[in-house]
Amino acid sequence: METGQFFIAGINYKKTDAAVRGNYAINPEQYAIILQHAKAKGVKELFVLSTCNRTEIYSIAPDAETLVDLLCSVTLGSKADFVQRCYIKQDEEALQHIFSVGAGLDSQILGDYEIVGQMKLAVKFAKEKGVIGSFMERLFNTVLQSSKQIKNETALSGGTISVSFAAIQFIRQQLVDSSDKKIVLLGTGKIGRNTCKNLVDYLDTKNITLINRTAEKANELAASMQLQSADWNELEQEINSADIIIVATNAEQPVVTTQNLQVGNKKILIDLSIPHNIDPSLAQQENVVLANVDDLSKINDQTLQKRKAEVPKAMNIIRQHMNEFMIWNHQRRHVPILKAVKQKLHDMHSCGLFLTSRRASEDINTEAIQKVVNNVAVKMRNRHQPGCYYIEAINDFMTSSH
């Protein structure tokens, strides 16, 4: 790996709470601006991963500060606060991190496999904007292969545990019987759909009303699962008649607030969004129990213990794929040298002095030249003495020519 080239700068749940992470969450418009600015700064390869647990920028860049500037140029949070809380990883340490993230080893809930889908979308967006080159494409594909092998050959993602399932466990902790409770679910994106399925499967209830800004999506999901749906303009009426409100929207401001929710009987509020889409001050009200993604991640069970036992197996798989990528990258750096060696040998072969010095019966052709170049490539993999390759190649070629 070229020194000082591959960087990751980011924040995650380990050092920041959901409120702080919300200040650095990146929406598609902000993402597009970052990629546009990146090109102007000469950054050729970059993508941004922004989820409820992390915001990270991955890039081939001249230095880490360039990445921090790009990210913080569009966020609500300041650069100073980001620098205070962020981690910066470079080269091999950065490689280790991206493989760990892709495997779910760095997730708030160990083994959470949803991160792979989020990473795919982030890379696809950057590729469409022309800022994914051969390094990042090969790296991401290798991370995907590693992640897939870990999923297939270990139990790291085994059992049912995710933020959406943790929401079910939280409801069970709060209520002995939830079958007669009215549930309103706001947001029918990926997390909303997963949560909806878990509600039906594990709470054995159909008393669920779905609301989404795009009404067709809520109507379609409700019809497929035999549930109810309501329009967004009915939100206030629906949440006030609900016992359990789950929010999985992607709004920049809270959609459930002290203004539109009047609390009477006990209400369970679950916020699966980053930034917060339920006003945190509602937790202070009597008869309200509020949980966000950080609260849900603390729910532990036997499944999590089983997953922890699989970590060493996952790490072994990561090491194999990391080594494969590093060998590829190492060889890629030597391509210009190998091309130069090959050209030098061709020049020698056509040189009049060389032609008269070798035996007339010999016919040294391009095949012989390629053989010498292949030998050089093997030596370059095994040791690091760039200055010696030309001399050795010429010597090998001369030997094979006489």
Quick one: how many helices (H) and strands (E) in the chain?
17, 10
End-to-end Cα distance, the chain? 39
Catalytic member of 52, 72, 86, 196:
52
Query: Residue 34 and residue 71: Cα distance in Å, rounded?
Result: 7
By C-alpha distance, which of 104, 81, 36 is closest to 314? Answer: 104
* Alpha carbons 309 and 85: distance in angstroms, whole number: 30
Structure tokens at 379: 């030596």
Token output for 392: 């050795």
Q: Which residue do the tokens 């102007």 mark?
A: 40
Q: Which residues contact 325 (CB under 8 A, 6 or more apart)?
A: 95, 138, 139, 142
Between CA 337 and CA 329 the distance in angstroms is 14
Active site residue 52: yes
User: 228-230 and 87-90: which strand pairing?
Assistant: unpaired
* Catalytic (active-site) positions: 52
